Structure 1
């Protein structure tokens, strides 16, 4: 990494100011940082998909069917276990090494795959694939907007997070009411909320680079950024699947 405190005028090429050199190095570092975030996020989604597909292979005779269609609490343990990994990463990040954070992220993505394997028992493979590609296109567009826009999106962060909390409460209530109309409303609101969060989180992650560049925290920041975008993608996919998915 360049030493920006170096006062030697020879640090910058002829005809190029030190400020220009620093700016170019910062932009290169930012691109590398964001590329790492996207690589981790995409790899996590891929791992989740592979694990979900393998766990559900065999249809009604699959491991997924044996876990989720059988009585008992095991299915609830599997469904809610990803939350434990999210809590560890969010609240214990400062005490974790970068390697440990990476291991937890990959383990979380794998466990999430087990949890999501039920979609292959409910929806057709074709509708899952179509919804996945639709989600990917929407995610890329929204993330690109969040990365390139000059508009400050920080003001919408609180609104979006409050919306997610309300969405969770509504989803829990609908477990008792079992209202199809309410489920459709929840799905529609969920798609909009996580679409907004995709753009917001991308801009937030980009802004974070200024604080972690050149520090030991940059590796952990990459993992947390990837986790945020991963959750945005997965949630948007699941809510879209409620609309676009054809039941098996």
Structure 2
């Protein structure tokens, strides 16, 4: 009986230990949130400039080449100081691509309200998912594989919706992306807390991309609802 009790106690102790952030995880989380806040601000400035100067949309091909090219460089130099600069280059480029999108919605009836609602929804989801990831005792690493597959499938479906001009598919993909990006925020934050992600550069990119896709997906959904 005593042996059984000791086994349960030791098992509980080990489980509890994995739910408390150590110093390294706390440092990664702090650096990630700091860099993320700077990148969000920089991206917002670039997007605002893009709107103010009515810069043209780069197009799907240039967008994909720019995004994946910069992402490759960030990954390659993630352990060097250059990696931080490349993160700003990536998020700035994404801000530039966001400008024409936001400008389009602002030109629509109730466009300002649509953009504000999308921003508010993004903030609420991000804060909610992050808060849960910080306090939960559950290991959410099992979500990684499912989210990766889901994002790949949704990405391909989104490209098909663009190239074949299928509005219904595009809206469906946006709805799915809202769920997937919410899950990615939850997964990545929990991964940092539990010590699974030790590189704040990559963690920042993952969270920024999730927030970006979450915002644009909400923007499309709310824009469709307000248009009806």
Per the TM superposition, whether the score is higher than 0.5 is yes
**Which range, TM-score by smaller chain?**
0.7 to 0.9
Partner of 2:140: 153
In the alignment, the residues of structure 2 paired with residue 116 and residue 78 of structure 1 have an alpha-carbon distance, to the nearest angstrom, of: 13
**In the alignment, which of 69, 76, 85 is matched to residue 103 of structure 1?**
85
Cα RMSD of the aligned pairs, angstroms, is 2.2
Does the C-alpha gap of structure 1 residues 78 and 42 become closer, same or farther in structure 2, counting only changes over 3 Å? farther
Q: How does 1:83-94 map to 2 (within 5 A)?
A: 83-90=68-75, 92-93=76-77
In the alignment, the residues of structure 2 paired with residue 122 and residue 161 of structure 1 have an alpha-carbon distance, to the nearest angstrom, of: 30
The normalised TM-score by structure 1 is 0.73
Q: How does 1:20-99 map to 2 (within 5 A)?
A: 27-58=22-53, 62=54, 64=55, 67-68=56-57, 75-76=59-60, 78-80=62-64, 81-90=66-75, 92-93=76-77, 97=80, 99=81
Aligned residue-pair number: 200
Q: Does 2:173 match 1:178?
A: no
Return the offset for 1:113.
Answer: 1.1
**In the alignment, which of 117, 120, 125 is matched to residue 99 of structure 2?**
117
**In the alignment, which of 238, 243, 247 is matched to residue 216 of structure 2?**
238
Q: Structure 1, residues 164-199: CA drift from partner, whole Å, max 9, x if none?
A: 000011011112331221111111111011111110
Return the offset for 1:76.
Answer: 4.4
Does the C-alpha gap of structure 1 residues 146 and 236 become closer, same or farther in structure 2, counting only changes over 3 Å? same
Verify the 8 A CA contact 1:42 1:230 in the aligned structure 2.
Answer: no
Verify the 8 A CA contact 1:78 1:114 in the aligned structure 2.
Answer: no
The normalised TM-score by structure 2 is 0.79
**In the alignment, which of 204, 222, 228 is matched to residue 206 of structure 2?**
228
Structure 1 runs not aligned, ≥5 long: 1-25, 69-73, 213-220
The higher radius of gyration belongs to 1
In the alignment, the residues of structure 1 paired with residue 133 and residue 166 of structure 2 have an alpha-carbon distance, to the nearest angstrom, of: 35
In the alignment, the residues of structure 1 paired with residue 138 and residue 35 of structure 2 have an alpha-carbon distance, to the nearest angstrom, of: 26
Partner of 2:119: 132
Q: Structure 1, residues 26-49: CA drift from partner, whole Å, max 9, x if none?
A: 745543431221111122111111
Q: Structure 1, residues 130-180: CA drift from partner, whole Å, max 9, x if none?
A: 211210111111011112211121111101100000001101111233122
Partner of 2:12: none
Structure 2 runs not aligned, ≥5 long: 1-20, 107-111
Verify the 8 A CA contact 1:53 1:120 in the aligned structure 2.
Answer: no
